[in-house]
């Protein structure tokens, strides 16, 4: 059984066509495996860098959906969820009308580029871990013969070596390692191998014909009596409905008809480049004679702070504090709107330039969140005036990004204590329950926040489900680990409505480069306790190091105030690193909720427009048997900024968590307001990356 429960703000349906790249080469097509290829056979071609493809394909008794990401120019990864006729899946008599679903992962690497005389060559692994139902390995070459025709030839193992094999490289077993989910390294490139090949012809810019000689014998389907494979030749027609959608029709095995839909997104291509949000207020400039007049500093003019607050509010920013001297101003502000921090800095700096007395030349802008001064950027007002119509890079050279721990901390009079509330819809999803691959809850969340001081808050949320079926997710508490997560459906059943969280949190800047947080209360639906975190992260460093320690007790299923008997000390040491090529790595090593010890590894490809596509895996000392199906915790995450979809400034994002199994091993506490995500956008690496939006 496979159960996954994930929490998402909104489940973005990637299966819907969205405006996308026009980059995709019209000759490229996605195969039924969801990867670049012919019909069933792979090719050596690569999709455009960062392209994200969702495919739905199938024929009688065989349904496949896949998500393929071109991780880099040469390297792709695929997550697939395939449904097989029960007779095929189990190799024992079953219900041929019932599909059994199986997850699988592929990777591929183009190791040789095509030249005028040489084909491109790639190596790849299909279904490289777990049950291996679709597992194969290949080395393939593809050459563009003419502008409209390409040919492919390759050699394959596993399924791709199962028909008309020409040799063998050892013995290939079909044993699943541990409880599945573990790379079957011993099987790779082992056993029989065979040739495969084919060609594609572009009949028009939108229509492509493909023919392939398949070396996959489909032995499982044939022996189950579900497939009559009359020929190794498959034929297909791909029709492009636009740059984002492909429709395909296949003649398979001489006996079947298949079809496929392919949807493409490229995070590098914006729906509206630069966004369509409103223009900033232009900088009005100063009268030269006013620049030297500092009388106002002796006889303060009322209303400056109010004017600045109104100017900031026009851009969706909030004034948190202002300190003025004759020639320098320090602004503390919060940014709930722009996901590119340079745009928030640019808007705030313009507001200062248009509202502060003319003698004020130096602006310190400090973005704050939960009272934490995240960083400080310093700009000269005369530079703002001089560079407003220059390229952003000219201004970027004049901006200093420094730590804000020791900066002045002005606070707007009467701002605290404050009270806030909100009512909003929520969507929560769960994937990969074999009985129901997608489960979904839709409901309402009511939130309230009291801020006694600038850096403390008491926050709570209550949820009520309107409809959905997440609570019906079967509970599997097998294994020796305490059920720290697998009972979650009971919280949805008994705790509806329920208190999602209710906690006190305090944030601080103990010293330069150091950030801190203490949280106490009902931290998440399943646990209450205390959590403390300290993070070292210089503003100009790509490396951050953090420590988080928690002592928590499991909550009652009714999600009210009661607690169960299980308590645990859990915590992690974390390292965060932002590589300069857009990749992000994170390692969290420590003790998990079930008391197991290990580490979580996360790698994301990040884009300055807010997109993130990544994967994580957790390895602990819990045995594969105790963990259950999948052997260890792992998942894929796609984060799509709302601003990218709508083409206008928004800080919210849609998160798709494809987490195959939410088991009890490698389970982390969910703590609100973790430090690193709050400050990431406001440190130098991300500011530099998105600085093009400073003048937007």
Partner 1 sequence: MRMFWLAPVLLACCGNVDGMKERRATLDFVREAFTPSKVEGSLIEAERANIPVALANTTRPLVMVEQPGLDLADFFVLAARSGDIATYGSSSQASISFDGPVMVATRGFGADLMSGDAGSLPDLLAARQSGQYKRVVRYLDGENQTISYPVQCNLEAGDKGTFVEYCGSPYQEFRNVFELSKQGKVVTSIQWHGPDNSYLTIRRLR
Give CA–CA dist 494/466, Å, rounded. Answer: 15
Query: 421 pairs with which residues across the strands?
Result: 448
228 lies in the site for partner 1, by CB under 8 A: no
Q: Which residues inside 341-370 make contact with partner 1, applying CB under 8 A?
A: 342
The enclosing H or E element of 386 equals helix 381-387
Q: Does 677 bind partner 1 (CB under 8 A)?
A: no
Which string of x and - marks every residue 317-336 that binds partner 1 (by CB under 8 A)? -----------------x-x
Answer yes or no whether residue 650 interacts with partner 1 by CB under 8 A: yes
Supply the minimum distance, in Å, between the C-beta of residue 528 and partner 1: 22
Q: Is 144 exposed, middle or buried (0-12, 13-18, 19+ CB in 10 A)?
A: middle
Which among 203-211, 436-444, 586-594, 673-681 is the span making contact with partner 1, rule CB under 8 A?
436-444
One character per residue 550-589, x = contact with partner 1 (rule: CB under 8 A)? ----------------------------------------
User: Is 640 a residue that touches partner 1 (CB under 8 A)?
Assistant: no
Element (H, E) at 313: helix 304-314
User: Which pair of tokens denotes residue 526?
Assistant: 């399943």
Residue range at the interface with partner 1 (CB under 8 A); choices 34-42, 216-224, 319-327, 648-656: 648-656
Tell me if 57 sits within 8 A of 261, measured CB to CB.
yes
Helix-strand-coil percent breakdown of the chain, rounded to 5?
Answer: 15, 45, 40
Site for partner 1 contains 423 (CB under 8 A): yes
**How many residues are listed for the chain in this entry?**
696
Q: Is 297 in the site for partner 1 (CB under 8 A)?
A: no
| Options 115-123, 183-191, 325-333, 642-650: segment touching partner 1 (CB under 8 A) | 642-650
Residue whose structure tokens are 């294994």? 479
Please give the residues from 391 up to 420 whose contact with partner 1 meets the rule CB under 8 A.
Answer: 391-393, 420
Q: Are 237 and 252 in contact (CB under 8 A)?
A: no
> Binding partner 1 by CB under 8 A: which of 56, 139, 151, 444?
444
Among 170, 282, 417, 452, indicate the residue that binds partner 1 (CB under 8 A).
282
- Other beta carbons within 10 angstroms of residue 585's beta carbon come to 16
Work out how close the CB of 282 gets to partner 1 at its nearest, in angstroms, rounded to a whole number.
4
By the rule CB under 8 A, 291 interacts with partner 1: no
Rule CB under 8 A: is residue 434 a binding residue for partner 1? Answer: no
Beta strands in 514-562 (DSSP E): 514-522, 527-536, 543-555
Q: Judged by CB under 8 A, which stretch of 322-330, 388-396, 537-545, 630-638 contacts partner 1?
A: 388-396
Is residue 607 within 8 Å of 584, Cβ to Cβ? no
**Should residue 13 be labelled a site residue for partner 1 when binding is judged by CB under 8 A?**
no
DSSP string across 613-637:
EEEEEEEESS-HHHH-TTSSEEEEE
Does 73 interact with partner 1 (rule: CB under 8 A)?
no
Question: Which distant-in-sequence residues (6+ apart) come within 8 Å of 375 by Cβ?
Answer: 366, 367, 401, 402, 403, 404, 539, 679, 682, 683, 684, 687
Q: Which helix (H) or strand (E) holds 176?
A: none
Please list every residue from 257 through 276 that binds partner 1, using CB under 8 A. Answer: 266-270, 272-276
Residues at the interface with partner 1 (CB under 8 A): 266-270, 272-285, 316, 334, 336-337, 340, 342, 385, 388-393, 420-425, 442-444, 447-449, 464, 466-467, 607-609, 642, 646-648, 650-652, 689-693, 695-696
């Amino acid at each position: 059984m496979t159960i996954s429960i994930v929490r998402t703000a909104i489940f973005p349906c990637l299966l819907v066509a969205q405006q996308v790249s026009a980059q995709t080469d019209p000759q490229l097509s996605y195969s039924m495996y969801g990867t670049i290829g012919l019909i069933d056979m792979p090719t050596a071609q690569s999709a455009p860098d960062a392209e994200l493809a969702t495919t739905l394909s199938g024929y009688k008794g065989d349904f496949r959906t896949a998500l393929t990401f071109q991780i880099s120019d040469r390297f792709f990864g695929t997550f697939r969820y395939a449904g097989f006729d029960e007779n095929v899946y189990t190799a024992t008599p079953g219900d041929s009308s019932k599909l059994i679903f199986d997850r699988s992962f592929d990777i591929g690497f183009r190791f040789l580029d095509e030249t005028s005389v040489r084909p491109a060559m790639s190596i790849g692994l299909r279904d490289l871990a777990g049950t291996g139902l679709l597992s194969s390995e290949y080395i393939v070459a593809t050459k563009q013969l003419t502008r409209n025709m390409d040919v492919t030839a390759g050699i394959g193992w596993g399924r791709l070596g199962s028909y008309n094999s020409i040799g063998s490289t050892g013995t290939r077993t079909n044993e699943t390692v541990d409880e599945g989910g573990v790379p079957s390294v011993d099987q790779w490139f082992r056993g029989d191998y065979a040739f495969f090949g084919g060609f594609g012809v572009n009949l028009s810019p939108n229509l492509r014909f493909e023919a392939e000689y398949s070396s996959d014998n489909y032995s499982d389907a044939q022996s189950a009596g579900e497939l009559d494979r009359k020929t190794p030749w498959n034929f297909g027609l791909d029709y492009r409905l636009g740059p984002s959608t492909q429709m395909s029709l296949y003649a398979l095995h001489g006996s079947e008809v298949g079809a496929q839909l392919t949807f493409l997104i490229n995070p590098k291509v914006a729906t509206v480049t630069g966004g369509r949000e409103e223009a900033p207020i232009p900088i009005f400039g100063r009268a030269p004679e006013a620049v030297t007049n500092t009388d106002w500093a002796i006889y303060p003019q009322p209303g400056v702070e109010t004017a600045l607050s109104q100017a900031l509010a026009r851009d969706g920013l909030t004034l948190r504090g202002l300190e003025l001297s004759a020639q320098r101003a320090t602004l503390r502000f919060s940014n709930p709107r722009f996901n590119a921090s340079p745009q928030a800095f640019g808007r705030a700096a313009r507001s200062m330039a248009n509202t502060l007395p003319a003698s004020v030349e130096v602006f310190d802008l400090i973005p704050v969140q939960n009272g934490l001064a995240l960083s400080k950027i310093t700009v000269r007002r005369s530079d703002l005036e001089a560079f407003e119509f220059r390229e952003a890079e000219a201004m970027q050279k004049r901006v200093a990004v420094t730590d804000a721990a020791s900066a002045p901390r002005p606070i707007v009079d009467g701002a605290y204590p404050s009270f806030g509330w909100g009512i909003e819809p929520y969507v929560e999803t769960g994937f990969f329950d074999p009985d129901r691959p997608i489960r979904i809850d839709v409901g309402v969340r009511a939130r309230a926040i009291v801020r006694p001081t600038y850096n403390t808050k008491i926050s709570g949320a209550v949820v009520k489900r309107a409809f959905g079926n997440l609570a019906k997710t079967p509970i599997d508490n097998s294994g020796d680990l305490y059920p720290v997560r697998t009972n979650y459906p009971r919280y949805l059943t008994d705790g509806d409505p329920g208190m999602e969280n209710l906690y006190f949190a305090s944030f601080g800047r103990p010293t330069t480069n150091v950030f801190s947080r203490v949280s106490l209360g009902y931290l998440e639906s399943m646990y209450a306790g205390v959590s403390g975190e300290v993070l070292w992260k210089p503003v100009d460093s790509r490396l951050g190091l953090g420590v988080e320690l928690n002592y928590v007790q499991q909550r009652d299923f009714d999600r009210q105030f009661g607690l169960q008997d299980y308590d645990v000390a859990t915590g992690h040491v974390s390292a965060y690193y932002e590589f300069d090529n857009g990749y992000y790595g994170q390692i969290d090593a420590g003790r998990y909720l079930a008391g197991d010890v290990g580490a979580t590894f996360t790698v994301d490809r990040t884009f300055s427009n807010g997109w993130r596509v990544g994967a994580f895996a957790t390895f602990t000392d819990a045995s594969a048997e105790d963990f259950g199906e999948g052997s260890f915790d792992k998942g894929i995450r796609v984060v799509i900024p709302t601003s990218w979809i709508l083409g206008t400034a928004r800080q919210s994002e849609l998160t798709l968590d494809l987490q195959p199994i939410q088991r009890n091993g490698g389970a982390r506490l969910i703590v609100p307001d973790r430090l690193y995500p709050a400050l990431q956008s406001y440190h130098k690496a991300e500011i530099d990356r998105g600085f093009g939006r400073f003048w937007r």
